[in-house]
DNA sequence: GTAACTGCAAAAAATTTGCACACTG
DNA sequence: CAGTGTGCAAATTTTTTGCAGTTAC
């Protein structure tokens, strides 16, 4: 087992996994470590590479399975990019929204949820009951703005 | 050329295509027809099947290319579903938001844009300039609510 | 006419599955 | 030690590409 993994997300993940009777394996913690040190959203391939660098070997299938679990647990969120691609990033929970820098794919919390402020009058007028939503903001972060 | 294609989206698409120097081919109009008659979001495969039924033959590659173009033009929007899948539906423009019924994948307009009501104070506090956003609401439509 | 398009078949990319072995709790 | 999880390789699924032959304008 590799030391130096400690971060908020790790202990949180350990707890959630334990609650569900799932195991905190080296590979799962490595995925967390990779996401943590990158500080941005990563593609499946990038996560796979990071875990391989950390552990020597890692099956791509394990990465997929791990990300599925983490997404269910709300630790991680699948983000969609304007170019059609997608990636994964930490999330503070299933119902948090994120801002993504289109240049570096860095991820920032977006604390407000504008949808909650909204009454669903127009939705109900169409006979639609809103149960959940997905929001993602695109833009440019500080650092990428400087470079440009 | 197949008759009976006429719908708002068709003439709109024809105009946009012409503006860009692109051609209103039978296949492109067929994609519009299929989306129009379905009245909901469809997977690439479903669109392909629909076009094949209409034209006899249709290359899958053409469907992909057509959807890419239509998405660029803002006629069509790629929607993401909670199960990880995705599909395409008509959009009134690049910046419209939609509600998707998780049962039938029907798509409804969501006229308000809650994000526009929002000041980006918290975003700017983090040094982030918001430039665009993606919103999708999930829920249940009238008909699916009755059945359930 | 001629550029833009198409279908096809092959290639590439992305994701899933089955299974024998390994590790966590 | 029991059941969960892993790596691997193969299977599947999804998307892209190159090209010779069409078609819209």
Domains and CATH numbers, chain B: 2-147 (1.10.10.10)
Query: Given pLDDT bands bounded at 50, 70 and 90, which one contains residue B5?
Result: low
pTM for the predicted model, two decimal places: 0.93
Confidence check: pLDDT of B97 > 80: yes
Confidence check: pLDDT of B1 > 70: no
d(CA A9, CA A119): 34
- Work out whether strand B128-141 and strand B97-101 pair parallel, antiparallel, or are unpaired: parallel
d(CA B6, CA B93): 19
Decide if A126 and B108 are in contact by the 8 Å CB cutoff. Answer: yes
Confidence check: pLDDT of B55 > 60: yes
Decide if A132 and B138 are in contact by the 8 Å CB cutoff. Answer: yes
Chain B residues 10 to 69 whose Cβ lies within 7 Å of strand C are: 17, 21-23, 25, 27-28, 55, 57-62, 65-66
Query: What value does the mean pLDDT take over residues A88-107?
Result: 93
């Amino acid at each position: 087992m590799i030391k130096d993994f400690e971060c908020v997300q790790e202990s949180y993940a350990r707890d959630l996994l334990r609650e569900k009777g799932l195991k905190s394996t080296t590979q799962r913690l490595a995925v967390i470590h990779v996401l943590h040190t990158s500080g941005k959203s990563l593609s499946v391939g990038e996560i796979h590479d990071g875990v391989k660098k950390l552990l020597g070997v890692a099956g791509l299938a394990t990465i997929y399975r791990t990300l599925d679990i983490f997404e269910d647990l709300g630790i991680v969120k699948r983000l969609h990019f304007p170019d059609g691609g997608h990636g994964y990033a930490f999330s503070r929970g299933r119902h948090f929204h994120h801002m993504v820098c289109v240049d570096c794919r860095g991820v920032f919390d977006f604390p407000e949820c504008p949808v909650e402020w909204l009454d669903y009058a127009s939705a109900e007028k169409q006979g639609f009951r809103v149960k959940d939503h997905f929001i993602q903001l695109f833009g440019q972060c500080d650092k990428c703005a400087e470079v440009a």
